[in-house]
């Protein structure tokens, strides 16, 4: 499993799929303590990447909904006059 540098951006789906594989390997067992710790650390990194993508998506949705609401409020006021 290749590690990515902090400067390299993983896409959400890529990070999620790799995280699933990490969890599968940890649940299967049979790895040394050192390998298990390395997998756990990688899983934590991948979970952070996924969380950042989801938070960004949520912010974009919230901004879009706020813009839409502001446009409706603005046009609604013009119609009332």
Residue-wise pLDDT for 17-62, tens only, equals: 999 999 999 999 999 999 999 999 999 999 999 999 999 999 999 9
For residues 42 and 3, is the Cβ–Cβ distance under 8 A? yes
pTM equals 0.72
Model confidence at 4, pLDDT cuts 50, 70, 90, reads: low
Distances in whole angstroms, Cα of residue 60 to Cα of each of 13, 48, 77: 18, 18, 26
């Amino acid at each position: 499993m290749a590690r990515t540098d902090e400067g390299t951006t993983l896409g959400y789906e890529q990070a999620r799929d790799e995280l699933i594989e990490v969890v599968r390997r940890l649940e299967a067992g049979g790895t040394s303590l050192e390998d298990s710790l390395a997998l756990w650390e990688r899983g934590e990194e991948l979970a952070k990447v996924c969380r950042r993508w989801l938070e960004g998506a949520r912010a974009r949705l919230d901004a879009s909904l706020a813009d839409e609401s502001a446009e409706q409020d603005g046009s609604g006021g013009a119609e009332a006059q």
